[in-house]
Structure 1
Amino acid sequence: MSAARILTIARLELIQRLRSVGWYVLLGVFVVLLLGITALSFLIFSNSDLPGAGVFSIIVNFVLLLVVLVSPTLSGNAINGDRDAATLAPVQVTAATTGDIMVGKLLAAVATGCAFLLIAVPFLAAGMVGGGVTPGMLFVSLLVLLAEIVVVAAMGVGLSGLIARPLFSIAATYLAVAALVIGTLIAFALGGAAIRTDVTHYERPWDDSTGEPVCDSWEEYTYEQPRFDYVWGFLAANPFVVLADATPTTFDDGYPQDLFGQIKYGVRMAQLPPGSERWDACAGGFESTPTPEERMRGTVPSWFVGLGIQLVIAGALFAGAWGRTRTPARRLPPGTRIA
């Protein structure tokens, strides 16, 4: 592979996009949506002591949402779109190798996604003004967003090389992204509900004559509860869980002040097996429980596992497309246009 040829192919891809009016309209809509989300976020957290933490987390999650919605369209027809337009074969007969073409297409798709990320940086900086956001949070969240852009772009380019029709490859890319974003949640909910266990609840009995609890005895009740601790791993590959779990959390008296921490706390709590509950009316209620910050310290981060799963899926699709695009081709799908 040659860096010069890779950059040339990426530049040609970007020039084609920059000539499209729809590209600028898409960027304009993106800016308008970010302005609205930022303004609404400041209104929501206006009464908070650290409004910046909440505003920043909402903006970052919104940027990730737009990235996973837009990137499949920009990368899902990178290979088969050129083949359908009869512009791929002329490039393949030049000095450009298959690796040059694949990496150049991927680089162009990543650069396109990074354009949205660069536009979002001023809005992220505005979220930091409200306090509660450290430079480490900004740096880590940008790195995770960049990693997700690369993953989705690689999946789109890979599927565009494996599927002959551009429309089908774009739809398949959306389905793959939906499997990570929505499918993991469905698998987690259904899997946890299907596996249940008995949990015992203890509480003080009540004296009907006095209306006071009897403090020298206990009553127990048994009921079923889902075992989400067996299936919480499905959430690890979710892009929003990866983002929340990797980004440092801001706490106030042990409780998260941003959306990152709330998502992270929910996932970490799913790791814990259900245990018995003890309601002591004589002592004022439930026994003391750890704060969310203390709970998180006793659980295991999962963002690196989820990101690894995403990279394996994207890498497998990209490698498959690499083999399908290699010339001379031994076998092509029926009806594939060559030149």
Structure 2
Amino acid sequence: MSGSRILTIARLELTQRLRSVGWYVLLGIFVVLLLGITALSFLIFSNNELPGAGVFSIIVNFVLLLVVLVSPTLSGNAINGDRDAATLAPIQVTAATTGDIMLGKLLAAVATGCAFLLIAVPFLAAGMLGGGVTPGMFFVSLLVLLAETIVVAAMGVGLSGLIARPLFSIAATYLVVAALVIGTLIAFGLGGAALRTEFTQQERMWDESGEPICDEWQEYTYEQPRFDLVWGFLAANPFVVLADATPTPFVDGYPQDLFGQVKYGVRITQVRPEPQRWDPCEAGGPQTSPTPEEQMRGTAPSWFVGLGIQLVIAGGLFAGAWSRTRTPARRLPPGTRIA
């Protein structure tokens, strides 16, 4: 492999896209959407003491949403699209190796996604001006967005090399992304509802005047869903990876942005449910509940596991496409165009 050949292939790929008017229309729509989201976010959090944290988290999640929606279209036909247009074979007979072609296509897809990230930086900086956003939050969120851009681009390029038809490879890329974004939520919900444990609840009896009868208990059993056994499904979700990796600002123990709220919701599912018991006859009254910050201290971060799962999937698809694109080819799918 050669760095110069990889850059040449990436430049050729980007040149074709820059000549398209639709590319600039897409960027313009992206800017308009960001302007609207930023303005609405400031209105939503205008009553907060530090509105920047909420605005920043909404913008970052919106950028990630557009990345997972747009990247499959831009990378899902990188290999088979050139094969259909009869432009892949002329490159394969040059000094460019299969690795040069694959990495050049991947670099072009990542650069396309990074264009959206660069456009979003001024809007993220505007969120920082509202306060509540640390430099660590800013850079970590950008790194996660870049990592997700690379992962989705690798999936798209990989499937474009494994599937002969561009339309099917783009659709397959969307299905894989949908499995990570929506499928993980479905698996978590159905899995937690299917796995149940029977608990026994104890309560004091109450007399007609509403006073507890301290020498008598009432017991009843119920089934509790065990989401603590399936919370790992959420680890591979791109939005959970983003929220869990980004540092969370707390005020009086409560998260002040969307990242922290998502992180708290995911982390709390790790805790095994226990029967709740409050004895009104005990001295001291009800116990004070711990804050979300205190509850999250006893849980484990999951972003690196989720990102690892995504990298394994993307790497497997990319390696399969690398093998399928290698020349001379021993076997090609029926109807595949060679030159």
The interval holding the TM-score normalised by the smaller chain is over 0.9
Alignment of 1:64-75 (within 5 A): 64-75=64-75
Alignment partner, residue 170 of structure 1? 170
Q: Which moved more, 1:199-208 or 1:181-190?
A: 199-208
Alignment partner, residue 179 of structure 2? 179
Where structure 1 has 5 or more consecutive residues not aligned to the other structure, the ranges are none
Alignment partner, residue 225 of structure 1? 224
Whether the aligned pair in 2 keeps the contact of 1:158 and 1:317 (CA below 8 Å) is: yes
Q: For residues 330 and 285 of structure 1, what CA distance do their matches in structure 2 show? A: 77
Alignment partner, residue 15 of structure 1? 15
For residues 50-83 of structure 1, what are the alpha-carbon distances to aligned partners after superposition, in whole Å with 9 as ceiling and x for unaligned?
Answer: 1111111111001000000000000000000000
Q: For residues 124 and 221 of structure 1, what CA distance do their matches in structure 2 show? A: 52
Q: For residues 262 and 90 of structure 2, what CA distance do their matches in structure 1 show? A: 49
Q: For residues 318 and 69 of structure 1, what CA distance do their matches in structure 2 show? A: 19
Q: For residues 15 and 233 of structure 2, what CA distance do their matches in structure 1 show? A: 39
> The residue matched to 2:199 in structure 1 has which SS?
strand
- What is the deviation of 1:30? 0.5
> The residue matched to 2:277 in structure 1 has which SS?
strand
- What is the deviation of 1:114? 0.2
Alpha carbons of 1:126 and 1:215: their partners in 2 closer, same or farther (altered >3 Å)? farther
Q: For residues 239 and 103 of structure 2, what CA distance do their matches in structure 1 show? A: 26
Alignment partner, residue 145 of structure 2? 145
Whether the aligned pair in 2 keeps the contact of 1:199 and 1:274 (CA below 8 Å) is: no
Q: For residues 281 and 85 of structure 1, what CA distance do their matches in structure 2 show? A: 77
Whether the aligned pair in 2 keeps the contact of 1:278 and 1:287 (CA below 8 Å) is: no
Alignment partner, residue 77 of structure 2? 77
Q: Which moved more, 1:78-87 or 1:284-293?
A: 284-293
> The residue matched to 2:62 in structure 1 has which SS?
helix
- What is the deviation of 1:204? 2.9
> The residue matched to 1:203 in structure 2 has which SS?
strand
Whether the aligned pair in 2 keeps the contact of 1:206 and 1:213 (CA below 8 Å) is: yes
Mapped pair 1:88 → 2:119: no
Whether the aligned pair in 2 keeps the contact of 1:53 and 1:257 (CA below 8 Å) is: yes
RMSD: 1.3
Alignment partner, residue 261 of structure 2? 262
Alpha carbons of 1:40 and 1:284: their partners in 2 closer, same or farther (altered >3 Å)? farther
- What is the deviation of 1:217? 4.7
- Which residue identity lines up with residue 196 of structure 1 in the other structure? R
- Which residue identity lines up with residue 278 of structure 2 in the other structure? W
Alignment partner, residue 211 of structure 2? 212
Q: For residues 85 and 319 of structure 1, what CA distance do their matches in structure 2 show? A: 23
Alignment partner, residue 39 of structure 1? 39
Where structure 2 has 5 or more consecutive residues not aligned to the other structure, the ranges are none
Whether the aligned pair in 2 keeps the contact of 1:204 and 1:218 (CA below 8 Å) is: yes
- Which residue identity lines up with residue 3 of structure 1 in the other structure? G
Alignment of 1:71-150 (within 5 A): 71-150=71-150
Alignment partner, residue 272 of structure 1? 271
For residues 246-269 of structure 1, what are the alpha-carbon distances to aligned partners after superposition, in whole Å with 9 as ceiling and x for unaligned?
Answer: 000011111111110111111111
Whether the aligned pair in 2 keeps the contact of 1:201 and 1:221 (CA below 8 Å) is: yes
Count of aligned pairs between the two proteins = 338
Alignment partner, residue 309 of structure 1? 309
Alignment partner, residue 252 of structure 1? 251
Q: For residues 154 and 72 of structure 1, what CA distance do their matches in structure 2 show? A: 10
For residues 268-294 of structure 1, what are the alpha-carbon distances to aligned partners after superposition, in whole Å with 9 as ceiling and x for unaligned?
Answer: 111111101023445797533221101
Alignment partner, residue 201 of structure 1? 201
- Which residue identity lines up with residue 170 of structure 2 in the other structure? I
> The residue matched to 1:178 in structure 2 has which SS?
helix
Q: For residues 108 and 285 of structure 1, what CA distance do their matches in structure 2 show? A: 63
Q: For residues 43 and 218 of structure 1, what CA distance do their matches in structure 2 show? A: 51
- Which residue identity lines up with residue 196 of structure 2 in the other structure? R
Whether the aligned pair in 2 keeps the contact of 1:205 and 1:213 (CA below 8 Å) is: yes
Alpha carbons of 1:122 and 1:215: their partners in 2 closer, same or farther (altered >3 Å)? farther
Runs of 4+ aligned residues of structure 1 deviating over 6 Å after TM superposition are none
> The residue matched to 1:205 in structure 2 has which SS?
strand
Whether the aligned pair in 2 keeps the contact of 1:278 and 1:286 (CA below 8 Å) is: no
> The residue matched to 2:220 in structure 1 has which SS?
strand
Q: For residues 169 and 196 of structure 2, what CA distance do their matches in structure 1 show? A: 39
- What is the deviation of 1:130? 1.1
> The residue matched to 1:278 in structure 2 has which SS?
coil
- What is the deviation of 1:216? 5.1
